[in-house]
Amino acid sequence: MQELSGTQYLQAEIACKHDKTMEKETWDTRIAHFNNMDFKDPKTFKKASDPIGLRAATVAFDETQNKVPSGYMISLDACSSGLQILSLLVSCPKSLIFVVVSKTSVWTHTPPSTVQ
């Protein structure tokens, strides 16, 4: 399993906003695409698959690089994100492992013993 930093997730997000076909590529390919983008060229935004989303993601990236919390939420790949979110909401560490959130992370939340 590949683990990415928040910055790398954002780089991959920017690549997908620029070119939607990147969504089918590996994380490394997406990040490489990001690294090859020319953000000073107006055509980069004008010809993007999602120009508004690309602008928002690049602003968030710039803020992040300047240590300013952006509040930007990346979109996740749809392969199992619904199951991952549900596993978090119901506090089920076994489900989280099965949907590959993390096989090694420590589960730090103790779920309530009863639901009222």
Q: What are the residue ranges spanned by the domains of the chain?
A: 6-65, 77-105
Q: What is the pTM of this model?
A: 0.67
Q: In whole angstroms, what is the distance from residue 107 CA to residue 76 CA? A: 21
Q: Which helix (H) or strand (E) holds 56?
A: helix 51-65
Q: What is the pLDDT of residue 91?
A: 75
Per residue of the chain (116 residues), give pLDDT as tens. Answer: 678 888 998 999 999 999 999 988 999 999 999 999 999 999 999 999 999 999 999 999 999 999 998 888 887 655 556 666 777 777 777 776 666 544 454 444 444 444 44
Q: What is the pLDDT of residue 113?
A: 47
Give the CA distances from residue 78 to residues 25, 50, 61, 83, in Å, rounded to whole numbers and listed in that order: 13, 18, 22, 10
Q: What is the pLDDT of residue 90?
A: 78
Q: What is the pLDDT of residue 96?
A: 65
Q: What is the pLDDT of residue 86?
A: 73
Contact 54, 17 (CB under 8 A): yes
